[in-house]
Amino acid sequence: MPSDLVLANRGVVDSFGHVSMRHPDRPDRYLLSRSRAPYLVVDADIMEFTLENEPVSHDERALYAERAIHGRIYAARPDVAAICHKHAPATIPFGVTGTDLRPIFHMAWAIGASIPIWDIADRFGDTNVLVTKNEMGDHLAHTLGSHRVARMRDHGSVVTGATLPWSSSPQCICKRMLNCSPQPSVLARFAI
Ligand SMILES: [Zn+2]
């Protein structure tokens, strides 16, 4: 079962999130679905991409506009084997207000002690916040640094892992932590 479907069933990704993994035999490539809602992804949708985010095959299927997130993080982080990008609304206030999202129960260590915030406007000005160019993916990867998770202001978050299950686990942990936190509407009071 594709990880997209697993995370969709757990309510982690919405209609636009996506999950990738580094190619097990070609570390200079990664695997990602064609552009499709996570609920609908099946094995036949999985495609192979270079780290410059070009499809290896010449098929005509529509691609995720934000695949630059995946290839450029794999290029910057040889230790990363899987990536998930999502737009969960409950995480948005944490990217806007700067309120820390910290591990507050024992299973939450996997998200790391701190989670940086990437603001696309810092480098690229007024955009639709989608990561559609490789230089945007490079800038996001730079902010992610050695962390496992990065918040993306006005947008969502990206989570990395050394294995596919370990990229999915922090997503689920973040969701559980939000259940332990003040409601996003409360946090939003502190918006800049
Ligand atoms: Zn996105």
pLDDT digits (tens, 9 = 90+) for 19-29: 999 999 999 99
pLDDT of residue 34: 95
Q: According to the model, what pLDDT value does residue 186 have?
A: 47
Ligand 1 midpoint to CA 86 (Å): 6
Query: How far is 173 from 167, CA to CA, in rounded Å?
Result: 11
Instruction: Say how far apart CA 58 and CA 83 lie, in whole Å.
Output: 24
Among 19-23, 89-93, 98-102, 172-176, name the most confident range. Answer: 19-23
pLDDT in tens, 43-95: 999 999 999 999 999 888 999 999 999 999 999 999 999 999 988 887 788 88
**Contact criterion met (CB below 8 Å) for 111 and 167:** no
Does residue 120 carry a pLDDT above 90? yes
**What is the CA 106 to chain-centroid distance, rounded?**
23
Give the pLDDT mean for 98-121.
84
Each domain of the chain, given as residue ranges in start order, spans 3-190
Query: Rounded CA gap, 95 and 144, in Å?
Result: 13
CATH code reported for the domain at 3-190: 3.40.225.10
Catalytic positions are: 66
pLDDT of residue 128 exceeding 50, the answer is: yes
Check residues 163 and 161 and name the one with the higher pLDDT.
Answer: 161
- Residue 52 has a pLDDT of 98
More confident residue, 171 or 155: 155
Q: How far does residue 109's CA lie from ligand 1's centre (Å)?
A: 25
Distance 189 CA to ligand 1 centre (A): 24
Backbone φ and ψ for 61, nearest 5 degrees, come out as: -70, 150
40: left (phi over 0), alpha (psi -120 to 50) or beta: alpha
